[in-house]
Amino acid sequence: MSYQVVIPVIISFVISAVLGPIVIPFLRKLKVGQTEREELKSHLKKTGTPTMGGIIILASVILTSLIYVKDYPKIIPILFVTVGFGIVGFLDDYLKVVLKRSDGLLAWQKMICQIVITAIFVFYILKFTDVSLTMLIPFSGGKYLNLGVLAIPVMFLAVIGTVNGVNFTDGLDGLASSVTVLVATFFTVVAVGTHSGIEPITCAVVGALMGFLLFNVYPAKVFMGDTGSLALGGFVASAAFILKMPIFIVIVGFIYLWESISVMLQVGWFKLTKRKYGEGRRLFKMAPFHHHLEKCGWKETKVVTLFYVATALLCLIGFLGCKYMFL
């Protein structure tokens, strides 16, 4: 693909940038506005900002990928997982912001959908591709971890965990978008360098997020909602498995992991202290962790910058961990 790798980035960026001014007023007219948590006083002014903007990202990725799918069939499972989780997120958003059902999809409904999508992804990889379930070990000089049949439950945990991690990260203007555009760029460089055949869709995600960021950076004119965050989580996880690099999600996607861990620690500590002392106590001022930093007095833009820079450095570390692949 060489220099032509920039073409799907440009196509997807243009689609995203053009759709923004069309979709945002439409969402505003439908009154699909975000509802903010009252604990965050600084966020109350965002109440009513259109959400479900993830359809801009999805449309850009789908339209761009369809141009290349015939010559690059390996993008099919990634596109399926991305769109599949995006649809789940769309249903959740629609129930919450359009039908005003505060819970959206129930937890068990969302989990069943995630399991089904992941199961189809696993089946497709095993039956219709030459991609093995071995996993490249970072900084090992090219050694792979072969878990045998245990790789399948690991895939389920990794995919669903990553999807929910990206969802937790989507809490500030431009946060999930800016972090994920770097992760997608990391996978693009690896895909191009290894001639993996998934470059068009990784490039499409980069372009789509660049275009979406025009409207999502502070002060955001639109939020991606679960439509976008679940789709992006599906993309990150599926692309990592096709490249045999799911372990690298822990490195380049550490922000997703830490956001998830902060929520689990908060909930776990609250339940433990409630059982022990009769009242729940918080480990963080608020979870996920980006909200804790806000409660500590950090400005929203400073938190986003910190996470963006951290992800950039982690992606560079990720390149060091797989440098042999480019030799």
pLDDT above 80 for 40: no
Q: State the sign of the Cα–Cα–Cα–Cα dihedral 210, 259, 136, 130.
A: negative
Angle at 122 between CA 118 and CA 194, to 5 degrees: 110
Q: Which of 36, 35, 40 is nearest to 286 (CA)?
A: 40
Burial classification of residue 168, based on how many CB atoms lie within 10 Å of its CB (0-12 exposed, 13-18 middle, 19 or more buried) = buried
pLDDT at position 140: 93
pLDDT at position 89: 96
15/34 Cα distance (integer angstroms): 24
Mean pLDDT of 192-209: 96
pLDDT at position 122: 96
pLDDT at position 216: 97
pLDDT above 60 for 36: no
pLDDT at position 247: 97
Alpha carbon 282 to its chain's center:
27
The widest CA-to-CA distance across the chain, in whole angstroms, is: 63
Quick: pLDDT tens for 61-94. Answer: 999 999 999 999 999 999 999 999 999 999 999 9
Mean pLDDT of 22-37: 77
pLDDT band at 5 (very low <50, low <70, confident <90, very high): confident
pLDDT above 70 for 43: no
Burial classification of residue 172, based on how many CB atoms lie within 10 Å of its CB (0-12 exposed, 13-18 middle, 19 or more buried) = buried
pLDDT band at 33 (very low <50, low <70, confident <90, very high): low
3-state DSSP assignment of residue 135 = strand
pLDDT above 90 for 101: no
150/154 Cα distance (integer angstroms): 6
pLDDT more than 90, % of the chain:
83
pLDDT at position 270: 94
Mean pLDDT of 41-53: 74
pLDDT at position 30: 81
pLDDT above 70 for 45: no
Quick: pLDDT tens for 135-181. Answer: 999 999 999 999 999 999 999 999 999 999 999 999 999 999 999 99
166/78 Cα distance (integer angstroms): 16
Q: Which tokens hold the place of 266?
A: 């908060």
pLDDT at position 323: 86
- 141 Cβ neighbours under 8 A, 6+ residues apart: 324
Range among 132-136, 194-198, 234-238 rated most confident: 234-238
Average pLDDT, the chain: 93
Q: Which tokens hold the place of 129?
A: 């591709």
pLDDT at position 158: 97
